[in-house]
Amino acid sequence: MTLRTDRLALRRFRPDDAAAFAAYRSDPEVARYQSWEPPFPPAVAEEFMREMAGLDPVEPGWFQYAIDVGGMLIGDVGVNLHENRRQAEIGYTITTAHQGKGYATEAVGRVLEHLFVDRGLHKVSAECDARNERSAKLLARLGFRHEGTLVEHTWAKGEWTDDLLFGLLDREWRTIERNR
């Protein structure tokens, strides 16, 4: 199930990833627009690794790919497959030290290719906090369309925040790939 790119392996999480996973999820910059509060407890990371070990990426629900550069864990890409198995929501994180190097574009791009080509998905969606410029820029770079804004929709870290909704259809992705 490992997906590969020139620089990355997108693989299943392993028990020995727990410490690195807890470390980057504990970074306040990484957690800023995410649902959890730092620090991220190591015990929760260990439990996460146990849960991941038993999950099948083709079954509905969340599956997280570990992003591995030469044996080092630098982030993750999550795919939440809809019950109909033709739609999914994605999420992603790159450690602060590895941002700005194109790893997120490469990793999420590879997951999109897998979802549209190998798995026949019709649509992939993503949401981000309206202040999360790097995330919105990543989605635009990958060809996602802004489909709307949910105003003061999420109570996050002590305030009401706006959510940007993005979507990418199978045919839109194929057109982008043809013209790349």
Ligand X SMILES: CC(C)(COP(=O)(O)OP(=O)(O)OC[C@H]1O[C@@H](n2cnc3c(N)ncnc32)[C@H](O)[C@@H]1OP(=O)(O)O)[C@@H](O)C(=O)NCCC(=O)NCCS
Binding residues for ligand X, rule: CB under 6 A, are 30, 33-34, 91-94, 99-105, 128, 132, 134-135, 138
CB-nearer residue toward ligand X: 30 or 52: 30
Least separation in angstroms between CB 6 and ligand X: 9
CB of 54 to ligand X, least distance (A): 25
For 25, list phi and psi in degrees, rounded to 5: -75, -15
Residue number with CB closer to ligand X (58 or 97): 97
* Minimum separation from the CB atom of position 120 to ligand X (A): 25
E strands, 1-132, where?
Answer: 3-4, 9-12, 61-69, 72-81, 87-94, 123-129
CB closer to ligand X out of 121 and 128: 128
**Starting at the edge strand that comes first in sequence, how are the strands of the sheet with 3-4 ordered?**
3-4, 9-12, 61-69, 72-81, 87-94, 123-129, 159-169, 145-156
